[in-house]
Amino acid sequence: MLELTQRPQKIIHCDCDCFYASVEMRDDPRLRELPLAIGGQADQRGVIATCNYVARKFGVRSAMPTSQALKLCPDLVVMRPNMEKYRIASRQIAAIYRDYTELVEPLSLDEAYLDVTHAKQHQGSATRIAQEIRARIAAEVGITASAGVAPNKFLAKIASDINKPDGLYVILPEQVSEFVANLPVAKLFGVGKVTAQKLHQLGVNQCSDLLTWSLADLVAHFGKLGSSLYSLCRGVDTRTVEPSSERKSVSVEETYSRDLPDLAACIAEVPELYAALQKQVDRTKAHEHINKLNIKIRFKDFKQTTVECRAQELSEAKFVELLTTGFERRKLPVRLLGLGIGLAAKPRDDQLPLF
């Protein structure tokens, strides 16, 4: 029998609105009225990282090729990302979060979960804390953020998207059952396009449709995900906010404006990528935790392959070996190369030695 009781929580999910674009509009207010996108250039096979809401009215979206975005919106202003500027803003926002709780789980530079179950501010009101956090981000960082407040992470994340941009949505414990019953199954955590399509074929469109399914039937149809579906359609999510998530990898990649025609041309690009990776490793202080090297290759036909090996230090020669192995799998012109490292988990301070 699945245990559906859990300790009451007060979770806030904060998500900055079109973060990269918002920082640029903050620094140049003239951009606020223009369709703006942050991403790569069209003549270099660039992709849109994010865009402001003016651009979204034209159908421009994240992950869209810049060339396609410009067809939808010929007046689109495309700016290259300034990651250091965005990191500074992200650190300012993180400092605001930690004025209320140490239980902060960052998901990206502009998105995080906060567990304010035991927060003392505003007599413990998660709603008022979320309001104040949003007001401080606007006043101190100069951009807007949306937030969702709910009894768990699953619902808080959905709530934060409801009143975007610059909005707040609250799901009280007594509202959970009704809210989730009307939720499309495609919104459930872990449900992608393929699973959603399978659910629809089974006549399951909303969470209320899932309530008639037994746990055994869901597991039979969907494996481990079935157990999650059984809980989520009842508004139950027992995941906790994890403030100590560690970096698991460091990588760099380059999409080329012209395909690299052969292996020799690919190998010629390794030194520049390797130098960029070294800088990233230095910046993240990851040298002592390397346990894998890997290379990613995307070919002309958009098929992708990766190759990795065990290693405890960077080696340009080893990356060339991995590249050679990967290239031989298809022997086609290459549009993207990436170098990366995998990191071993850092030992806990309280972990006892083996001997």
In a domain, 92, yes or no: yes
Percentage with pLDDT > 70 across the chain: 94
Is 71 in the same domain as 89?
no
For the stretch 1-47, pLDDT in tens is: 444 445 579 999 999 999 999 999 999 999 999 999 999 887 777 88
What's the pLDDT at 130? Answer: 98
What's the pLDDT at 2? Answer: 45
What's the pLDDT at 244? Answer: 66
Is 284 in the same domain as 297?
yes
**Contact (CB, 8 A) for 151 and 8:** yes
- pLDDT reading at 74 higher than 50: yes
Quickly count helices (H) and strands (E) in the chain.
13, 12
In a domain, 137, yes or no: yes
- The residue segments making up the domain with residue 47 are 19-83
Ranking 142-151, 169-178, 222-231, 339-348 by mean pLDDT, the lowest is 339-348
What's the pLDDT at 354? Answer: 34
CATH number at residue 225: 1.10.150.20
**Mean pLDDT calculated for residue range 180-201:** 91
The domain boundary, picked from 55, 83, 111, lies at 83
What's the pLDDT at 3? Answer: 45
Q: Which residues carry a binding-site annotation?
A: 15, 110
Residue labelled with tokens 């958009």: 302
Q: 226 exposed, middle or buried (CB, 10 Å; 0-12, 13-18, 19+)? A: middle
> Among 32, 11, 42, 344, which Cα is nearest to 151's?
11
Torsion 91-94-98-103 (CA) sign: negative
What's the pLDDT at 40? Answer: 86
Is 55 in the same domain as 134?
no
Is 78 in the same domain as 91?
no
- pLDDT reading at 246 higher than 70: no
Pairing state of beta strands 168-170 and 145-150? parallel
How far is residue 242's CA from residue 190's CA, in Å, rounded to a whole number? 18
What's the pLDDT at 257? Answer: 82
In a domain, 269, yes or no: yes
What's the pLDDT at 245? Answer: 60
In a domain, 1, yes or no: no
How far is residue 245's CA from residue 247's CA, in Å, rounded to a whole number? 7
Backbone angles phi, psi at 271, to 5 degrees: -55, -40
Catalytic (active-site) positions = 111
CATH number at residue 303: 3.30.1490.100
**Mean pLDDT calculated for residue range 229-258:** 87
pTM over 0.85: no
For the stretch 305-321, pLDDT in tens is: 999 999 999 999 999 99
Q: How far is CA 129 from the centre of its chain?
A: 24
Rounded to whole angstroms, what are the CA distances from 316 to 72, 273, 311, 340, 342? 42, 10, 12, 11, 15
Is 299 in the same domain as 321?
yes
Confidence of residue 165 (pLDDT cuts 50, 70, 90): very high
How many domains, the chain? Answer: 4
In a domain, 4, yes or no: no
How far is residue 261's CA from residue 355's CA, in Å, rounded to a whole number? 54
